[in-house]
Amino acid sequence: QVQLVQSGAEVKKPGASVKVSCKASGYTFTRYYIHWVRQAPGQGLEWMGIINPRNGSTTYAQKFQGRVTMTRDASPNTVYMELSSLRSEDTAFYYCARGGYGGYANWGQGTLVTVSS
């Protein structure tokens, strides 16, 4: 079955960068876009951007342009989301999700990133 498994929780200091991974299995990796969504504590869902695993092309939400980088490694079926210049407001759960015409049917378990001095 389709699975997206994310890397573990991170604690970072303000100004640092964090890189979260999302390993896909159970389907052809290059056939579906991967989206990144974050959720601050007690807040709603916020779309960050998308990567095409076939060619690595990306589109980022305007809010994160210049601070986020999404990459992929076809072997081993993993995408990465790196967020730089972290501030306390970036404390959130970060999710990867498999996209398609049928919405985001599959999600990773989420990675908590805590930004604290």
Angle (CA) 4-8-13 rounded to 5° is 130
99 forms part of the interface with other proteins (CB under 8 A): yes
Shortest Å, Cβ 106 to other proteins: 8
Of the pair 38, 80, the CB lying nearest other proteins is at: 38
Q: How far is the CB of 16 from other proteins (least distance, A)?
A: 25
* 41 scored as a contact of other proteins (CB under 8 A): no
Judged by CB under 8 A, the residue of 1, 8, 13, 44 near other proteins is: 44
Q: Are strands 58-60 and 68-73 parallel, antiparallel or unpaired?
A: unpaired
- Pick from 95, 101, 85: nearest CA to 46: 95
Query: In the set 51, 53, 78, 108, which binds other proteins (CB under 8 A)?
Result: 108
Residues 10 and 113 sit within 8 Å (Cβ to Cβ):
yes
Q: What sign does the dihedral 62-50-23-46 (CA atoms) show?
A: positive
Alpha-carbon distance 102 to 115, whole Å?
Answer: 34
| Residue from 1, 8, 55, 62 binding other proteins (CB under 8 A) | 62
Where do contacts with other proteins occur on this chain (CB under 8 A)? Answer: 33, 35, 37, 44-47, 50, 59, 61-62, 95, 99, 101-105, 107-110
